[in-house]
Amino acid sequence: MERRKLVTVRQITSLDPIPGADMIEVASIDGWKVIVKKGEFSERDFCIYFEIDSFLPESDPRYAFLMKASVRLFEGIRGHKLRTIKLRGQISQGLALPLEKFPELSDQEFKNDLSQLRDLDLTEKLGIKLFEIPTPAALAGQIKGPFPSFISKTDQERCQNLLEEIFTMNKDARYEVTTKLDGTSVTYYFFNNEIGACSRNLELKVNEENEHNTIIRQFIDSGLSTAGYDGYAIQGELMGPGIQSNIENLKEHRFYVFDVQNLNTRTYLSPTEREKFMQDLHASNKVNSTMIQHIPVLYRNVSLEQLGIRNVTNLLDFAHGPSINNPVREGIVFKREDGRFSFKVINNAFLANEKD
């Protein structure tokens, strides 16, 4: 998985007024809606765009106006986390600033055609970090090492960053559509006669010293650790007490599988193959089928056209709906039926209610 590009050069495709607002307007930047100062940009202008979850340092005066809203400590640095907000009834996601505010980039980064610079990652150069929620005590434990290199990490790109891929390159593709759950990403693997358990970024020791770690406890208590599926990694969302805010109000921990990787071929199973894998796993009686479940599937083998989806606004509207027990789900995930292309659509109502 590539590192998330939090800061990029983007082009403003349109500017629209906000009813009742004299000083601000809303800019469309690819699939994102961002509130900007009125008159600061014109349509077709290029800008520096910061995605939500960017952590902006307080020490940089260019972000001083944001510090009035909130300041927090992250990795020893004071700053502001960009999140989805609603102002005057308008959703805003991220931050857009004029190119001229970043003279340190002009000589090297902007010497070529700006329209070709969409893929340039400015995150590190501008000192921006990805804000991540600290690991809760129940998930902390003895570390074996970094996330294994022979397994692909779990993550999906947001639909707003894949408009051409979704609506042009894959316009006739057929998808599995699943619910995106708000837990913690976990990977369990069986490879070369070894077993392993990983959080999003690290591999944990499977030993007695880690017996109180929720990830390890679920692996063992569910029976999955002795299921014996050598050559596979099983990835999913671990949910329940002590994880995030447990918005599903689960009384016990559950592991919802959303991907299975064949580690010998370095490929993901297709949605159909994954469901068959899970059916066989449950039929074998090797695991507790309540503790290890398949991610909820909303649709199978459907096209965007069948769902009435023609643009990113349709996609974002489609993400609204209930989760397992919560009336507001985090979002949905589309996976092409061959397992080789996927993207996530985050529910803006969920983001707007997220705690800073």
Phi, psi of 197 (to 5 degrees): -135, 130
Last residue of one domain, picked from the residues 130, 159, 176: 130
**Residue of 144 and 118 predicted with greater confidence:** 144
Please report, as a single letter, which amino acid is at residue 15.
Answer: L
Mean pLDDT of 50-66: 95
Residues 154 and 118 placed together within one structural domain of the fold: no
Residues 163-185 pLDDT 10s: 999 999 999 999 999 999 999 99
Whether 1 is covered by a domain: the verdict is no
Rounded Cα–Cα distance for residues 35 and 53 (Å): 16
Q: What is the pLDDT of residue 137?
A: 65
Asked if 263 contacts 233 with a C-beta cutoff of 8 angstroms, the reply is yes
| Cα–Cα dist 304/301, whole Å | 10
Average pLDDT over the chain, rounded to an integer: 91
Please write the tens of the pLDDT for every residue from 124-143. 999 999 998 777 766 777 88
Q: Are residues 95 and 244 in the same domain?
A: no
Angle, alpha carbons 241-324-343 (nearest 5°): 100
pLDDT, position 155? 77
| 78: three-class secondary structure by DSSP | strand
Pinpoint the alpha helices (H) of the chain.
Answer: 64-67, 163-164, 214-221, 271-283, 312-318, 348-352
Looking at residue 197, its pLDDT comes to 95
CB atoms within 10 A of CB 212: 12
Tally of helices (H runs) and strands (E runs) in the chain: 6, 23
DSSP assignment of 120-134:
---TTTTT-EE--PP
Torsion angle (degrees, nearest 10) of CA 140, 143, 146, 152: -60
Q: In terms of residue numbers, what domain contains 173?
A: 137-352
Is the domain of 161 the same as that of 301? yes
Tell me the residue type at 264: N
Among the candidates 95, 130, 165, a domain finishes at: 130
**Domain boundary residue, one of 130, 164, 197:** 130
